[in-house]
Chain A
């Protein structure tokens, strides 16, 4: 009986050691598995607009004091509240002509804007010079505005170059808040 009891204790001890060893082996995986996470996802796509205006005529050569015009179109996908023009007046061989830029919502006819003078954009441009003019005319996508460059005292060939500028976000339409 005593012998049997001793053997039973030995068996239990062995079983306990086995369980402990098994436990030591299992604890690290269980600890790793304890960090259960739940996740959920949603998807959306977005496209940025484009902005800019294009002048149909960007270079005008004046040999006489005759007005010339250029159609400016909003070629981007975003409406505008303003646009700028970098106007460069070249040197001239004779005299000191000056230039002014006017804007009209419709095409110029016989140098007149709907029988008016149009809206001045900036002040008088000297020769030679480069000036950045800004118009606060709102332009819808695809819409156009018409510029007219009016020279004064042109005695020899002088070139006026137009370069358009549109800068975000200040010259773009007011921000839109969409709820969907």
Chain B
């Protein structure tokens, strides 16, 4: 009888141990599940942003705009074209508009012998459209580029008075671009000197470049 009692006690002890083990295992699993639940927590917010555009267009103001000069240019001559620079983008521009002129071929009608000779470019802005026949600005003129040798414009030069030159979106600048030729050269017996500007042809590409306005920090 007492032997039977001892066996019952042993069985109860084993049962208690099993229950305790199951409890410990359950607590462990629950704790682990809690950790993983915390790592997958998320929060979201939505924001929409659109980038601006910076577009500069070049169109004739009056006349034909940039085109080929059909005549033969002589030293002292001036060929004027009239173009509109238009800021058609959605961003304003910053100071620092430049003009570069590349000649193809590079001679720019200069013989390379005399400093200051060759093709020159000057630019003037008019507050309104130019008058083609007379080449006169009916409004107010603003110098944009003083007379500069084309050969010096292979590196773009900063234009003057840029704040008034298509700085704001939708703004138009009426610009007269004057091409000149400077040369002192003597032909002997109808023959040009060995190094000459006479009879040379070059194609000029004018590139106006604007820079966007400085970045704006917005807090909202």
Within A144-180, which residues are at the interface with B (CB < 8 Å)?
A: 163-169, 172-180
Known contacts A179-B135, A180-B64: A164-B190 contact under CB 8 Å:
yes
Q: Please report the number of residue pairs spanning A and B whose Cβ atoms sit closer than 8 angstroms.
A: 209
Is A32 among interface residues, defined by CB-CB distance under 8 A? no
Question: In the complex, A1 Cα to B207 Cα: how many Å?
Answer: 67
B29 adjacent to chain A (CB < 8 Å): no
How far, in angstroms, from A156 to B164 measured CA to CA in the complex?
78
With the chains together, A5 CA to B187 CA distance in Å? 95
Q: Which chain B positions have C-beta within 8 A of A173? A: 74
Return the chain B residue nearest A11 by Cβ.
B39
What A residues does B82 contact at CB under 8 A?
A: 179
Task: Name the A residues within 8 Å of B205 (CB-CB).
Answer: 41-43
User: Could you list 10 further interchain pairs (A-B, Cβ under 8 angstroms) beyond the known A48-B74, A49-B198, A53-B190?
Assistant: A34-B212, A37-B210, A41-B205, A44-B67, A44-B206, A48-B181, A50-B198, A50-B199, A163-B189, A177-B135
Chain B residues in contact with chain A, CB under 8 A? 31, 34-35, 37-39, 41, 54-58, 63-69, 71-83, 85, 87, 89, 91, 93, 109, 119, 132-135, 179, 181, 183-192, 197-212, 215
A residues neighboring B (CB under 8 Å):
1, 3-5, 7-8, 11, 34-55, 58, 75-78, 163-169, 172-180
